[in-house]
Structure 1
Amino acid sequence: MRINKFFPVIFIYFFINSLGLPFGLTYTALLSPLLYLWMLMTRKQEVLWPFLVVLIPIVLIHLALGVDENSYFISLLNIVLVYIFCQAAYTFFIKCEHPGRLFQPLLIINFICSLVAIPLFFTPLAPVFWMKQFLTTGIEDFWRLSLLTYEPSYYALLFTPLFFFFLLQLLFYRNTINSWLLIVMLLLPLILSFSLGVLSAIVMAILITIILHYKKIVRNKRFLNLVGVTGVIAIMGLVAGFIFFPENILFVRLANVITGKDPSGKGRTFEAFWLADQLLAQKSYWWGIGPGQIKILGFELIRDFYGYGLETTRVAIPNAAAETLAIFGWVGFSLRILTECILFVYTKVWRNYFCLLLFVFVFIYQFTGSFITNIAEYVIWIMAFVPVFKEYDVVKGNGQ
């Protein structure tokens, strides 16, 4: 079988982007010079200099406010490299014919890796594919699937576009993989990663999409069948869990979230904005503290607030929207949200099921996790605003 010329880079991005590298460094960042040259040859236009011109006044303001220059310019370089990758991803989606054909190999490889990870869980090699983390109050050490990524939630975020893409294939009778096998391939990675933030945003994206297009979607027989089967299985599972396993991990986590005893959930949502506000008070509410300054100005604050040990060497605000607020102030935060809303209207996201699912998901998720240089999040934004998967256009009558 002929390998698509884009697949090697996509494979690196999805499976091994940070494997063996120091934290924060990725292979896509190292490939940025090549990606930049490829964009110049492919699109025949400059894409970097306009971005740098926009950055210059912001940089001058931050320098005038005072920053640790070493950390500032290293982080600024990282932002530029992320921008280059995002432009490369955009170029890929507008230039590649049938990009969806690359999704199935990713799904199959990912499923095989997930199956391999299950027996490895019971061996000393478990840390290769699994990560032990604090989950919630009462559950200190919990193993979650991360494959070769740096963190389970990031892995779940990477997988989300594949989940939506093949879910729509299933609903609109476009799947070439057996339906029941496809369901297992979609649910197994998300369940094993146990990222409730990602799962919650997925559920909300599906519900909002159904509400907006219910007249078309409810006429889809397969959709009704899936809802019925899913509902029965979910109810049976919840009843069985409540009766036979009342202290299971899911129930403990949900109970902690409802009662406000879940430090992970609080730390990734409203507490992240409180931390951002504390940092803004040290510099400028309008312009923020600047890239790379969270670890300088907020190290002790964040370490003590989250109860990290004295051996901690790295801290962050675990929320992309709150981190944007801290780094670029209310100006940057407002521009972020305004840009998302403008692009939503300009690209008519609601006209495509896939784009709408992705937009709603990532719009919600940015307030519950992620970070400002998360390329997996930006790829989702790009796919939401570039409707290359025309087979899921609402105007074509899908769902009838």
Structure 2
Amino acid sequence: MKINKYYPFAFIYFFLNSVALPLGVLYTTLLTPVFYIWLLIKGRKHILIYFLLISAVFGIAHLLNGVLLIDYVKSYILFLSTYIFCYTFYVFCIKKAYLLEDIYNRLAKANFVLTLAAIFSLFTAFSYLFWTTSLVSASLADFPRLTMFTYEPSYYSTLLAPLFLFFFLKFFLRANTTHFLKVFILGLPLLLSFSLGVLSAIILSITLFFLINYWSILTKTRFFKWFTRILFLLVFTGIVLLLFYPDNPLFIRIGDIMAGTDTSAKGRTFEAFELAYIIAGLKSLWWGVGLGQVKTVGYETIINYYNYPRELFPVVRIPNAFAETLAVFGIVGISLRLLIQIYLFFKTNVLNNYYQTLLFFYVFIYQFTGSYLTNIAEYIIWIMAFTNCFPQFNKDYLNRFTTSKFN
């Protein structure tokens, strides 16, 4: 086996990034000075200019409107560390993209071994190491969800999403046993995490991908056969569950969502936007309340909105990246966020690469249903969506060579 000196860093990022650390702190955060020095060595001496200029504009507006300075500074440092880590990954994608597939393969295998260990742990006293048991919705109390070593199931499933989409695409373009097994061993923990926000975003991204690539993919006989087989399998599975196991957790949760009693789904979608709008308006609807201020300025708003007992909820947040952007940076912030996404979508020609297309659709959808402002797992997906790390998925490459030569 070839030595991949970057794999240990990938393993830590994927599995151990928050182990034994306070909530909100990651090892990638603590390693910020190391990443910054590495960037300087690589000749990236001016990486902070755009960040400092843009953050200064918002900072002036926030300071004029008033902030709790100590919380603002702490959150600013965390935001800066997120930027430095993401920039480091971007440079890695440019310089060492050829190592990513090997890292993907190793992570998929390691995750499967740990998933088996997690399933076995359900019958022991150590299940808490892998699973989170909590109230999911009105009808699903104390339901175990696979968290692995992260702090919540949705974060873990966000880490899995780019790997699953990668091997799904490889399987679809060149169906073989190896690729199918990779799809299975990554799909299983995704299902066990029971994060419907992530699962829904994946399903929608794949659906949109097929729709816009209908003539280049589905019209080819072999691809269409696999598409219909997968669709048939999903429909068949749904019918079997409906007939023989109608009270399964998936159907129960979907029913709760449709009935409006799924607390997680509501809290991560329309309630998050309603709270964000109210909180931003406490200071400035245009500029937001500023970094680190949601948990202070917005505390009373969120506590009163949900009638939370204060002693059980000393810290609150908005569990939606786009909504949190509205609360923190206001209308100017969400407008800038969307403009950057749209600009990079066309600038980097996302639609020319199948993998980038899938990633973009996924993360664009997911930002409206979950995540948070400093979620590095989300930003990593954005970076890969705008960086051609896997040219073998380029449309022109696949059109030039037959898919039988695709690896």
In 2: Cα distance, 1:37 partner to 1:191 partner: 39
Per the alignment, residue 268 of structure 1 pairs with 268
1:1-400 to structure 2, matched below 5 A, reads: 1-98=1-98, 99-173=100-174, 178-310=178-310, 311-397=312-398
Provide the C-alpha distance between the structure 2 equivalents of 1:223 and 1:316, rounded to a whole number of angstroms: 44
Q: Please tell me the root mean square deviation across aligned C-alpha atoms, in Å.
A: 1.7
Q: Percent identity?
A: 43
User: 236-245 or 90-99: which moved more?
Assistant: 236-245
Deviation at 1:261, TM superposition (A): 2.5
SS of the equivalent of 2:4 reads coil
Equivalent-residue separation in structure 2 for 1:174 and 1:379 (angstroms)? 27
**What code does the residue aligned with 2:146 have?**
L
**One-letter code of the match for 1:209?**
F
Secondary structure in 2 aligned to 1:377? Answer: helix
Ranges in structure 1 where 5+ consecutive residues have no aligned partner? none
Instruction: State the shift of 1:221 in Å.
Output: 4.9
Q: Is the 8 A contact 1:362 1:381 kept in 2?
A: yes
Deviation at 1:164, TM superposition (A): 1.0
CA offsets, 1:123-147, max 9 Å, x none?
1100101111221111121100010
For residues 252 and 293 of structure 1, the distance between their equivalents in structure 2, rounded to whole angstroms, comes to 37
Most deviating of 134-143 and 299-308: 299-308
Shift of 1:97: 4.4
Cα 1:85/1:174, change in 2 over 3 Å:
farther
Distance 1:174 1:64 in 2: 59
Question: Deviation at 1:222?
Answer: 5.0
1:44 CA displacement: 4.1
Is this contact kept in 2: 1:359–1:381, CA < 8 A?
Answer: yes
CA offsets, 1:31-86, max 9 Å, x none? Answer: 11010110111134320233113222321221111111111110011000000001
Hey, what's the Cα distance between the residues in 1 that align with 2:159 and 2:84? 19
Partners of 2:292 and 2:44 lie apart in 1 by 33
- Cα distance in 2 for partners of 1:55, 1:22 equals 26
For 2:226 and 2:268, the matched residues in 1 are separated by 32
CA contact (8 A) 1:291 1:327 kept: yes
C-alpha distance in structure 2 between counterparts of 1:70 and 1:63, whole Å: 12
Q: Is the 8 A contact 2:164 2:183 kept in 1?
A: no
Q: CA deviation at 1:179?
A: 4.0
Is the 8 Å Cα contact of residues 170 and 179 (structure 1) preserved in structure 2?
yes
Deviation at 1:270, TM superposition (A): 1.3
Aligned residues: 399
Looking at structure 2, the residues matched to 322 and 41 of structure 1 have their Cα atoms a distance apart, in angstroms, of 37
Q: Secondary structure at the residue paired with 1:131? A: strand
Report if the CA contact (8 A) 2:18-2:151 is conserved.
yes
Q: Cα offset for 1:299?
A: 1.4
Note if contact 1:216-1:397 (Cα within 8 Å) is conserved in structure 2: no
Structure 1 counterpart of 2:368, one-letter code: F
Comparing 220-229 with 81-90, which one deviates more in the overlay? 220-229
TM-score normalised by structure 1 residue count = 0.96
The residue matched to 1:178 in structure 2 has which SS? helix
Which secondary structure state, in structure 2, belongs to the residue aligned with residue 156 of structure 1?
Answer: helix
CA distance in 1 between counterparts of 2:191 and 2:157 reads 9
Partner SS state of residue 42, structure 2: helix
Shift of 1:117: 0.6
Letter paired with 2:155: Y
Structure 2 residue runs of 5 or longer lacking an equivalent are none
How far does residue 163 in structure 1 lie from its aligned partner after superposition? 0.6
User: What is the CA-CA distance between 1:17 and the residue it aligns to?
Assistant: 0.4
SS in 1 for 2:123: coil
Is the contact between residue 267 and residue 306 of structure 1 (CA under 8 Å) also seen in structure 2?
A: no
Q: Which moved more, 1:368-377 or 1:297-306?
A: 297-306
Amino acid at match of 1:30: L
1:328-387 CA-partner distances (Å, limit 9, x unpaired): 010011000110000001111000000000001100100000000000000000000001
The secondary structure found in structure 2 opposite 1:239 is: helix
Secondary structure of 2:200's partner? helix
SS in 2 for 1:296: coil
Structure 1 residues 140 and 305: CA distance shift in structure 2, 3 A: farther
Whole-angstrom distance in 2 between the partners of 1:158 and 1:220: 32
* Structure 2 letter corresponding to 1:14: F
Change (3 A) 1:325 1:97: closer
Determine if contact 2:218/2:227 at 8 Å carries over to the other structure: no
CA drift of 1:259 comes to 2.6
